[in-house]
Amino acid sequence: MPSKPNNFSRYSLLLLMLLLTVVSIQRLHVRGNIISWDTFGYYLYLPATFIYQDPGLNDPSFIQKALEKYKGSTTFYQASPGPEGGLIIKYSSGLAMVFLPGFALAHLVATSTSFAADGFSLPYQYSVFITSLLFTFLGLFFLRKVLLKFFSDRFSAILMVLLVAGTNLFYISVNHTLVHNYLFALYALLIWLVIRWHETPTTRLSVWLGLCLGLMVAIRPTEAIAIIIPLLWGVYNKATFVEKFRLIRAHFKKILLAAVCLVLPVLPQLIYWKIFTGSFLYYSYDNPGEGLDLLTPYTWDVLFSFRKGWLIYTPMMALAIYGFKNLYEHRRDIFYPLLIFAVLNLYLVSSWTTWWYAGSFGHRAMVQSYAIMVLPLGFFFIGLKSLKPFWRKSLWVLAGFFVVLNLFQTWQYFNGIIHPDSMTKAYYQAVFGRVTPPTEEIESLLLVPRSLGGDDELKNPDDYYLYRTYEMNFEGSLLSVSGDSLKTDTREVIILTPENPFTPALEVPFNRLTMADHAFLKVRGTVFIDGGNVADNPFSMVITFDHKGGNYKYRGKDYEHFPHEITPLSWNVLERLYLTPEPRSKTDQVRIYFWLRGQEQLPVEKLEVEVWVPKRGW
């Protein structure tokens, strides 16, 4: 049984809060606007609804102004066209509810001072920062209360330090632009409420338990798997299953109340979808290039890839995984709900096709589960008591090394030595222990840099070679052109018209383009441009990837904006460079075609593609 609490864990809590506050303020000064990237999308409900009275985003001009003024992200990817007009916000609204009190206070400050009351100026940015910092404190507060239910006060203090300083929870807790900080706090609160409800199943605890679960689901719907924890808490054999059934039956009204409270935080999202999409349920992640593919999880990459492998960048969690063995031996009553949750969580995280989850230090999508993983981590160290002194001390030293490694590598990340999303094994080895910026030679070991929009660029052509060429010659009509020498040039072409504005697409599956992770495509299309201004007969060359009929990494070049590339009354060979995206499936196809958007005819002779693949990486 854990001993009565004294001041060790309290001092540990206060020191961690102080450390995270200091580093957070320093990071805020460095990074500036924290209403950015994904947070911009989670937050967007508030200014759209309360300032611009346009939650359906029928006039998104205020968004473009905010992005240009405050640099929230380089592109507006946080919403997409809805089925009934307007734009639908990609992210669910739970985090906006968390931001609402701070937003209201910030708006009061902005309207009372010289700050712009536009929903994005400095008072609003500070409100998000303060809200995030308060949730950091909330998470640590309830983490301590949970740990004291299982361990001594002194050991709880040590575990708190190991979890914060020894994992990427430290990075998440001082970054304040990611959702996982809030979810970690809610998971810590959830475990505390589950413990307290099973001790004393009161109406008040039932309400809070339901609201906590509901808010988690409203923030990220996949967090619905957390319901496993209260449902299976205390169940490990037939007798405890029967006892749990009796408990549910005896307190059925309270459980029903908890279920009602669970739905309440989700209701605003359902109403939003119903009003602006016509359906209570709507899949807002409509980018065909990413999604939840449950049949093809990337579990090995999530765990061990040097790009963003969980156990590569947070090896402390390897001890927690092993700790499930000791948890089974010492506390079987909580073993099954925690293990089942951990397995399902890893499965869902691994099933997201962009499994590295964009830029971060370590695998950020696993961080909220640390409020659960800290318990098997604690029992890992409890199990060391049965080992010989040498091994016991060695494993404690190893845990200390993981703390030092995590803090150092977090520093490397903040100083641009560890890359947010393009790490490789070779690059990791080259910068391991490095305290100076990487050289160009070392940077060449990273994954290929990818632009978020606009034209791609092949910076190191010597690192690539021509792998193969594809060509599509069009048929249908003969076009004869007389040159200055009076010699006639006759070619077989397809004639695009307003009734037939697209050429057939040149289509090649990714797995026939390259065996590497990418290729550069040098695309050429030959068209005849009649006299006159190309703006009078606009057309585009389109290059895109196709996944089950949906397009991603769509690049269309509208040549009326590039008249300097066009020679009238002549055959024109138009060129583009295209870096293949990271395909959702290796069978996804590149599609290349011309699109006539004008009212006059456009003769197109052929399309050609040169496939340039990296010399390294096969």
Domain boundary among the residues 414, 445, 469 is at 414
Position 484 in a domain:
yes
Same domain, 297 and 209: yes
Is residue 424 situated within a structural domain? no
| Sign (positive or negative) of CA dihedral 483, 486, 490, 496 | positive
Tell whether 386 and 516 lie within a shared domain: no
DSSP, collapsed to helix, strand or coil, labels residue 508 as strand
Domain boundary among 346, 381, 414: 414
Q: Which domain holds residue 195?
A: 8-414
What pLDDT is stored for residue 489 in this prediction? 85
Q: Is the pLDDT of residue 100 over 80?
A: yes
603 and 500 in one domain?
A: yes
Q: How much is the pLDDT for 289?
A: 94
Q: What is the pLDDT of residues 440-452, one digit of tens each?
A: 999 999 999 998 7
The whole-number pLDDT of residue 426 equals 96
Confidence of residue 183 (pLDDT cuts 50, 70, 90): very high
Same-domain pairing of 264 and 181 = yes
On whether both 408 and 524 belong to a single domain, the answer is no
Q: How far is CA 25 from CA 102, 120, 446, in A?
A: 18, 19, 30
What's 519's DSSP letter? -
Would you state the pLDDT for residue 169? 98
Is position 454 within any domain?
A: no
The answer to whether residue 429 sits within a structural domain is no
CA distance 494 to 438: 51
Give the helix, strand, coil percentages of the chain, each rounded to 5.
Answer: 50, 15, 30
Residue 435 lies in a domain: no
Closest to 5 measured CA to CA, from 146, 135, 172, 100: 146
Does residue 574 register a pLDDT over 70? yes
Where residue 572 sits, what CATH number does that domain have?
A: 2.60.120
pLDDT digits (tens, 9 = 90+) for 289-300: 999 999 999 999
pLDDT digits (tens, 9 = 90+) for 31-76: 889 999 999 999 999 999 999 999 999 999 999 999 999 999 988 9
> Lowest-confidence range among 9-13, 126-130, 566-570?
566-570
Residue 618 scores a pLDDT above 90: no
Within this chain, do residues 261 and 348 fall inside the same structural domain, yes or no? Answer: yes
User: Which of 137-151, 360-374, 418-432, 529-543 is predicted with the least confidence, judged by mean pLDDT?
Assistant: 529-543
- Answer yes or no: do 344 and 485 share one domain: no
Q: What is residue 487's predicted lDDT score, i.e. its pLDDT?
A: 67
Report how many domains make up the chain.
Answer: 2
Mean pLDDT, the chain, rounded, equals: 95
Position 352 scores a pLDDT of 97
Does the pLDDT at position 326 exceed 90?
yes
**613 contact partners, CB below 8 Å, separation of at least 6:** 464, 465, 467, 513, 514, 515, 516, 519, 520
Burial of 474 by CB count in 10 Å (0-12 exposed, 13-18 middle, 19+ buried)? Answer: buried
Q: 384 and 470 share a domain?
A: no
Residue 489 shares a structural domain with residue 351: no
- Same domain for 366 and 491, yes or no, is no
Instruction: Give the C-alpha separation, 301 to 293, whole Å.
Output: 15
- pLDDT band of 484, cuts 50, 70, 90: low
- What pLDDT shows up at residue 464? 96
Is 438 inside a domain boundary?
no
Residue 427 falls within a domain, yes or no? Answer: no
Q: Which of 375, 394, 414 is the last residue of a domain?
A: 414
DSSP state, 115? Answer: S
Same domain flag for 81 and 186: yes
In the chain, pLDDT over 70 holds for what percent of residues? 98
